[in-house]
Structure 1
Amino acid sequence: MKNNNSNSRRKFLQQIGATSLVAAASPLSSFANQAKAEERILRYEKGFSSNDTVRIGVIGYGVQGHFDLRTALRVPGVELAGICDLYTGRIQNAKEEHGNDLFVTTNYKDLLDRPDIDAVLICTTDVWHARIAIDALAKGKHVYCEKPMVYKIEEGYPVMEAAKKSGKVFQVGSQRVSSIGYAKAKELLAAGEIGDLNMVNAVYDRQSSIGAWEYTIPDDASALTTNWDMFIEATERMAFDAKKFFWWRAFKEVGTGVAGDLFIHLLSGSHLITGSKGPESIYSTGQFSYWKDGRNLPDVMSGVMQYPDSPEHQAYQLTLQVNFISGTGGQEVIRLVGSEGTIDVIGNDITVKHSLMPEAPGFGGYDSLFTFSKDMREKMQKEYDAKWTTAQRKRPTKEDIVFKAPQGYSDHLDHFTNFFDAIRDGKPVTEDAEFGFRAAAPALACNESYFTKEIINWDPVKMKLV
């Protein structure tokens, strides 16, 4: 990779503070009377730092490997140097897509040994993440590792240490962490737009066989075509099972289920917005509702986490939900609930709604007042009327706002741009090993809680089980 310290590099602009009005046909004062909230488009200009060549290798060329590579190659100056996968059909697919001259292998160490590869994208099954990440850093490669960063909590410490010692860029891949919408939500929360935060409700539902990980299994799947012996090197020995290879997320032997797949997106996003270091207690429960296909990790799962008072935020409770047979048709939303309103983060768009308390306390209506004697009611009514004005008894109003990302915006592209900018210019990444572990550990603790039916206690500052 070339080094270029030119001062002429363009800055990566995310001017989320400035917005432009879309629904502005009427004065702002009339928006409270309209059914539609004021809409604002987040101003955004895509920029790149230098386009010095960065050559990458992909380890794990399944669904996410394809998506990650496709996005990475949209960043100027990024070139593909090799692909590793255990399934022979994906090796053939790699050559068909990128040419017969492309270096391909079934052993990831072959990629790490190549001096012409600057960085690797780790897109394998969860059980392999830590081992490959540590090996890659030891070989001097920059690392983009798909979430969850680790398969087991105890793997997080050596990965963080390896990333720190290596001096190389290490970024975890989670949805939305580089989103301009999430950055705007963070800004609004910090500004007190919804008062004091007290709860976060995070949901990621699906309703499809593909969404439930029932991916198509090729007709030629066998222990030989999948290099099964190598596949299980990082886990317990077991007989060939095509489902465990191609539907691996659903099996605890090699994957981490909805907790490691989707809870972790919700945790990463909520931690970014709140600035939190993590929860102090974790409890999770789940069930098998529909996808009874041999999987041993549930298709419906909920979690409850308590976040303590901290320098970053007041105490709040977080609820997590994944439902793979949801009659909603599927939904992804993080709702931040404060004392004066809510922020709904849906994809890269956010909706702010306000509900403010009146200055005066409640009196009358569904109240104990009517149970008192007539004389007492009249006396207390007179005292209340004398103390509180009509204006003080009314709820203040504040316009709702919808913030939308511009059409065609990709937070996935931003995440990879951040990764390659860090490699080229030394900029900090948005999701380093510590951030990735602070999201992974509570997610993995949800599985532990599900199986043990116990509350898991966690020290979010020291990042240790208690």
Structure 2
Amino acid sequence: MLVHLVSGMNFMLGWNEPPRKAMALGDILRFKDGRDMPDVQAALFDYGEGRAPVYLRLNLGCESPETYRFQGSRGILEVTEFTINYYPQSGVDEAPSYYAYGFPRTMREAYFKPWHEEHDPKPGKEPVSEGYNYRGASWDEEKPHLWKFFQAVKSRQPVVEDAVFGNHAALACHMANESYFRKAAVTWDAAKATIKSQ
């Protein structure tokens, strides 16, 4: 599991702690050259109560952009190396449930008719949702990284992604790897500084 996926996610969410639990699956699917780490890995992290579970996946079998997708009740925020895209959602059902297509005919018609009468907008009154797109320099651009580092050294001010932050991101990756090898969920025991099988 690439530590940059975890550190980027933690930075964007403002988290600076290790996950409480991790579960990972994967395999060596492309690079069968004697390595022991998976080239495809999916990890699910639990950061505790009140926080959504985090799913990260890594695929070293092909080139693909590093993409983060944050999903909430008002839409999706998608972050890539060069862009931030917001895809709004109203937070209410805008179409009948697709499960209803599996209902028997009479039941399906009894569901669809009142749903459309109650929810369909009048012609010309259809809602329009506006998304936002921002484009900028690469987050891997060297100059801003070096500038922040030199300014921190010069001013003696702490940086956001300090040694503790890096340790928490690395610990999440160690937990994912331990889960992969143990074939079980693992938890972090901070008091004993150990990773335990679930």
TM-score normalized with structure 2 length: 0.77
Contact 1:281–1:307 (Cα < 8 Å) also in 2: yes
CA distance in 1, matches of 2:167, 2:131: 35
| 1:265 aligned counterpart, secondary structure | helix
Q: Which residue of 1 aligns with 2:171?
A: 441
Q: Which residue of 1 aligns with 2:34?
A: 294
Q: Which residue of 1 aligns with 2:12?
A: 273
Q: Which residue of 2 aligns with 1:108?
A: none
For residues 278 and 354 of structure 1, do their structure 2 counterparts lie closer, same or farther at Cα, with a shift above 3 Å needed?
A: farther
1:418 aligned to 2:148? yes
CA distance in 2, matches of 1:284, 1:373: 40
1:350 partner amino acid: I
1:438 partner amino acid: H
CA distance in 1, matches of 2:53, 2:139: 31
| Equivalent position to 2:159, from 429, 451, 456 | 429
Contact 2:65–2:81 (Cα < 8 Å) also in 1: no
| Equivalent position to 1:332, from 66, 70, 81 | 66
Q: Which residue of 2 aligns with 1:320?
A: 56
- Unmatched tracts of structure 1, length 5 or more: 1-258
| Equivalent position to 2:48, from 308, 318, 324 | 308
Give the number of aligned pairs.
191
CA distance in 2, matches of 1:389, 1:286: 44
1:58-457 alignment to 2 at 5 Å? Answer: 259=1, 262=2, 264-276=3-15, 277-309=17-49, 314-326=50-62, 329-358=63-92, 362=96, 366=101, 370-372=105-107, 377=110, 381=114, 385=117, 388=118, 390-391=120-121, 396-406=127-137, 411-457=141-187
CA distance in 1, matches of 2:24, 2:53: 14
For residues 423 and 340 of structure 1, do their structure 2 counterparts lie closer, same or farther at Cα, with a shift above 3 Å needed?
A: same
Contact 1:363–1:369 (Cα < 8 Å) also in 2: no
Bigger shift: residues 419-428 or 353-362: 353-362
CA distance in 2, matches of 1:274, 1:460: 22
For residues 360 and 404 of structure 1, do their structure 2 counterparts lie closer, same or farther at Cα, with a shift above 3 Å needed?
A: closer
Contact 1:353–1:400 (Cα < 8 Å) also in 2: yes
Larger Rg: 1 or 2?
Answer: 1
Contact 2:46–2:54 (Cα < 8 Å) also in 1: yes
Q: Which residue of 2 aligns with 1:202?
A: none
| 1:352 aligned counterpart, secondary structure | strand
CA distance in 2, matches of 1:373, 1:404: 45
Identical columns (%): 27
What do you get for the CA RMSD once the two structures are aligned?
3.6
CA distance in 1, matches of 2:6, 2:47: 12
Q: 1:443: Cα distance to partner?
A: 0.5
For residues 396 and 419 of structure 1, do their structure 2 counterparts lie closer, same or farther at Cα, with a shift above 3 Å needed?
A: same
| 2:184 aligned counterpart, secondary structure | coil
Q: 1:373: Cα distance to partner?
A: 10
CA distance in 2, matches of 1:395, 1:450: 48
CA distance in 2, matches of 1:298, 1:345: 25
Contact 1:335–1:343 (Cα < 8 Å) also in 2: yes
